[in-house]
Amino acid sequence: MNKFLFNKLLQNQGWNDNVLISTDENGIITSIENNSDDSAATKINGFALPGFQNAHSHAFQYAMAGLAEVHDISHTSDDFWSWRKAMYDLALSVSPDQMEAIAAMLYSEMVRHGYTNVAEFHYVHHDKNGQKYGNLAEMGTRMIAAAEKAGINITLTPIFYQKGGFGKAPTEGQRRFISPTIDDYLKLLEASKEACENYDGANIAIGIHSMRGVAPIDIAEIAKNGPQDIPFHIHISEQLKEIEDSLGYLDKRPVEWLLENVELSDRFHLVHATHLTEQETVGIAKSEANVVLCPSTEGNLGDGLFPLANFQNAGGKWSIGTDSHIGINPLEELKLLDYGQRLISHKRNIFNSTTEGNSGSFAIEMATIAGRKAMNNFETDYFKVGEPLNASILDANAPLLATSSNDKLSSAIVYTADATNQLGTIVKGRLSLAPRHASATKQEFGGLRNRQEVLRDFKKVIAELGNR
């Protein structure tokens, strides 16, 4: 049993002072007490938010973050599709051991930045020759092992990837991704589900790579007759070329086709959905499907800007992800999302739906509640007796946070805080202090879990890959 006494804790109705949270040996909250002065508790001089949810991750791409920014300008212009080639080259080269080491480093960095959960959109399934491993979920098992090593909750989302484009056979560069039939994918999904049973911080979701990556008729079949009690993730309408190809093949835009052929609900998570018509925007919102936005990656790839204001006005819900991990800080994702919208609308009150104009509170609420749904968690209370204690903690001594009143603190955090203000993260009741604070804070708790081992293994793998 642990007792944590926080300087401030964000609950659904707002910030409360001197909040005591007690947990059992499994990190489950047993009591929450406001205005406490329990001297036996571990005093956390920080402001605790619900743990951030990373609703979209391709872990292996962390190994190439920042490397696609050197361009040969004598040839074709650089865009998503040239970036994709570099990504394929990496995907074809990593071994299971290397995959685990890369993912563990990434997940450790996520925890350092306040993420407590990650949805791993995982599609590197087979060996380097494109043959199935004896364990169909070998690579997914490595993702789970990496999450356990780093101390983060993971929603493993094995991806159905079947085609090389609308109506096209897969390419040689996609050989590690491919499940030719629905039956092949369901076997992979079942093996992945079994792998999740080995770590109490793991669960499973369905994933479709994209409309171009799976035959549309098979997407509809999986949505209708596949497991109905787990989340369903899909990339959609990220690139203009994808929409052009969809129109040529289906005579429908991707989201247009999805709305007409799949009974969407709040278990569906449409990743990016960058390029939408007004009808599609409203249609997604009315269906209660969620959109997963990855602002740092979408900006890095030049994808475009999601029509957020119209989506929110129609009641749409969204979460955030770090996708290719060019950025890992959730507060930066939220700022980028908001500022992109401000720049195209010439307005400042974009995050203003349910929190009386408090942009920071709205951003935290949306990223938390919709993000949890991506992990198959429909709990709306930020902290609740009977639920695991997952929290992101900001340093109460950060100047702009320390001087903010409770009604302004959420916005001060979202718009002014950075990684240096991250005091620590609690995942299932276990506190990890950020490295710069761990050395200066006298507590029984240490730094990030297995940090030195994880960093050592990552450096070794990068040297082996020779790509950096």
Positions marked active-site: 272, 323
**Separation in Å, CA 83 to CA 72, 243, 356:** 12, 19, 41
Computed from CA positions of residues 151, 100, 368, 205, in that sequence, does the dihedral angle turn out positive or negative? negative
Report the DSSP beta bridge partners of residue 430.
427
In terms of DSSP H, where are the helices of 137-234? 138-150, 182-196, 216-225
β-pairing, 430-433 vs 422-427, is antiparallel
How many angstroms separate the CA atoms of 255 and 114, rounded?
32
Residue 164, burial from CB neighbour count under 10 angstroms (0-12, 13-18, 19+): middle
β-pairing, 391-395 vs 42-50, is antiparallel
How many angstroms separate the CA atoms of 82 and 163, rounded?
19
Q: Return the SS3 of 158.
A: strand
Q: Please, how many CA atoms are within 13 Å of residue 274, restricted to the half-sphere of its CB?
A: 21
Q: Where is 453: in which H helix or E strand?
A: helix 451-465
How many angstroms separate the CA atoms of 408 and 411, rounded?
6
Q: Supply the DSSP symbol for 28.
A: B
**Separation in Å, CA 273 to CA 132, 264, 276, 362:** 31, 14, 7, 21
In terms of DSSP H, where are the helices of 330-450? 330-345, 359-374, 399-402, 406-416, 435-438
End-to-end CA distance of the chain: 44
Q: Return the SS3 of 376.
A: coil
Report the DSSP beta bridge partners of residue 426.
391, 431
**Separation in Å, CA 111 to CA 21, 71, 115, 237, 391:** 20, 32, 5, 30, 10
Q: Where is 313: in which H helix or E strand?
A: helix 308-313
Residue 202, burial from CB neighbour count under 10 angstroms (0-12, 13-18, 19+): buried
Per-residue exposure over 85-94, b if at least 16 CB sit within 10 Å of its own CB, e if not = eebbebbbbb
Q: Return the SS3 of 413.
A: helix
